[in-house]
Structure 1
Amino acid sequence: MAKNFVQPGHVVTVPAPAAVSSGDLVTVGVLTGVAQFDAGSGDPVEIALEGVHEVAKTSAQAWTVGAAVYATAAGLATTAATTGNVLIGVALEVAANPSATGVVRLNGAAPAAAEA
């Protein structure tokens, strides 16, 4: 293994941008993951960057399998590729309109914030 290897990176520690609960989407810059435990604003929190997670979504959206999923500034998952939203992965299950949650396969890290 390379001498400069730090960690696998499936789960990383970041400062919580606000108070978060376990299972919340947490975005720091263009890095978004799922909080592994509750944390206060500024406290270290581990976020999963990969895997399949059920997350809170924009209720008034219907999702199809394979749709691109983004994180909003409010911490909700959405299929809207608007400025400021961060690409986080793809929908793995159909989600009805309305519905509170959706199932997402996280992509590890966003290449960049979405363009309008």
Structure 2
Amino acid sequence: MAKNYVQKGDTLTIPAPAAVLSGGVVIAGDIKGIAQGDAESGKPVDVKTVGVWELPKVGANAFALGGAVYWDATAKLATTTSSGNTKLGVAVEAAAASTAAVKVRLSGF
């Protein structure tokens, strides 16, 4: 292994940009992921940056398989609306407007 290797990078420990509960979305600049535990703002939190996660969504939104999923940080819901929101990844299965959640593969970027 190279001498400058630091870590695998699928889980990062960062200061929480805001208070977060385990399973909550964390966005810190271009780092996007899912909190692996509760953390107060500024305290360390492990953030998983890869994988598929079931997230609550805007009730009126329907997602197609492979459709882009954005995060509305104010409402704390996944949405199809790109404007003013942060792209999290793609839907791994269709989610009708009548459902409460969407399964999202994090883009890991």
1 CA distance for matches of 2:18 and 2:98?
27
1 CA distance for matches of 2:88 and 2:108?
7
What amino acid is aligned across from residue 56 of structure 1 in structure 2? Answer: P
Q: What's the TM-score, normalizing by structure 1? A: 0.84
Q: Does 1:11 align with 2:14?
A: no
Partner of 1:114: none
Q: Does 1:47 align with 2:43?
A: no
Distance apart, 1:55 and its partner CA = 1.1
Q: Please list every run of at least 4 consecutive aligned residues from structure 1 whose deviation after the TM superposition is greater than 6 angstroms.
A: none
1 CA distance for matches of 2:52 and 2:61?
19
> More deviation in 49-58 or 95-104?
95-104
Extract unaligned runs of 5+ from structure 2. none
Whether the aligned pair in 2 keeps the contact of 1:21 and 1:39 (CA below 8 Å) is yes
Q: What secondary structure does 2:70 align onto? A: strand
Extract unaligned runs of 5+ from structure 1. 110-116
Partner of 1:33: 33
2 CA distance for matches of 1:94 and 1:30?
26
1 CA distance for matches of 2:56 and 2:14?
20
Equivalences, count: 108
2 CA distance for matches of 1:33 and 1:57?
16
Q: What's the TM-score, normalizing by structure 2? A: 0.89
Partner of 1:82: 83
1 CA distance for matches of 2:30 and 2:62?
24
2 CA distance for matches of 1:105 and 1:91?
6
Distance apart, 1:2 and its partner CA = 1.5
Distance apart, 1:98 and its partner CA = 3.6
